[in-house]
Amino acid sequence: MGAHHDHQHPEHTHELSPDADRRYLTAALVLIAGFMAVEVVIGIIAQSLALISDAAHMLTDAVSLVLALVAMRLAARPARGHLTYGLKRAEILSAQVNGITLLLLGAVLGYESVRRLITPPEVEGGLVLFTAVAGIAVNVAAAWLIGKANRASLNVEGAFQHILNDLWAFIGTAVSGLIVLLTGFTRADALASLVVVVLMLKAGYGLVRESCKILLEAAPASLDPEHIGGELAAWAGVVEVHDLHIWTITSGYPALSAHVLVDEGRDCHATRTELQGHLSAEYGIRHATLQVDHAPASPAPTESEAHCADPHGPVHRAA
């Protein structure tokens, strides 16, 4: 009988305010950026690619934190004009940029690591070990700070995972420094760098994949459109569900729209309310747009065409 929009936003269980989140991320950023600058200098002095790789990884961590902070401010702006969702997808775009940067940097460092495996330079094992141990402490502190922020955000969670990856990378670098110091096996430095590269590629791929899914309007992995469509079609009085779309506006903000046809004697408004309540309670979809109409008298196979000039997506009908 006409479209209805449920404008309730998802309930955020996160208790901290956005200001508190920004403070935690800013503190982590200061830690990471400060140590990164020191590590680059020491890495050059020690001729350690592992340390320079760690510093490059920390650079992407710092960039991801900066983008997360910027995205938080942009996403908080109210929707206006042509931006009907506001700038809520700013964090998704920044996550994608961060992921692409990780992949590119990983490729460059991977090439350099292989080159150093073939012709290894002299490496100051003691300096590498000392710096890596300090890096472990810095990353533990940064991970603790980011862990207290709202990790429901793809950006914040991405930054948190980067810090954890960095922690493992520093542990690997510390081991390589110890090996070089005790045995003189300088190729251990390049091998540790390759471990960092693998972690960077893994994190970058994950961020690009998840951000692309959101930008391409794919349904969240936790929501099965086929199952939900069949469930709605089996609802009492529902004849057909078509034009069903499920997507993510931004992290933790699923949305759904569908055209629902009900029996001639059925109350369209009551059915819409029931379905929206079910979607909210069962699937956490609190932004649902359902157009509910009475089914025409024509046979079921043509009902979709009768209501939509260009019906798209699978059609779900009552058994």
| Tens-place pLDDT, residues 189-241 | 888 888 888 888 888 898 899 889 988 889 988 899 999 999 999 999 999 99
Question: Which of 14-28, 44-58, 168-182, 220-234 has the least mean pLDDT?
Answer: 14-28
Which distant-in-sequence residues (6+ apart) come within 8 Å of 249 by Cβ? 85, 88, 89, 255, 287
Domains by residue range for the chain, with CATH:
13-215 (1.20.1510.10), 225-317 (3.30.70.1350)
Q: What is the pTM of this model?
A: 0.73
| DSSP symbol at 216 | T
Long-range contacts of 39-42 (CB under 8 A, 24+ apart): 39/131, 39/135, 42/127, 42/131
Question: Between the CA atoms of 182, 40, 209 and 96, what dihedral angle is there, to the nearest 10 degrees?
Answer: 170
Which distant-in-sequence residues (6+ apart) come within 8 Å of 260 by Cβ? 232, 238, 240, 241, 271, 272, 275, 290, 291, 292, 293
pLDDT in tens, 51-76: 787 777 778 778 778 877 887 777 77
pLDDT in tens, 260-293: 999 988 899 999 999 999 999 999 999 999 999 9
Q: Where are the alpha helices (DSSP H) in the chain?
A: 18-46, 49-75, 90-118, 125-147, 154-183, 187-215, 225-233, 268-283, 303-307
- Cα–Cα distance for residue pair 132/124, rounded to 1 Å: 12
Q: Residue 188 burial (CB < 10 Å; 0-12/13-18/19+)?
A: buried
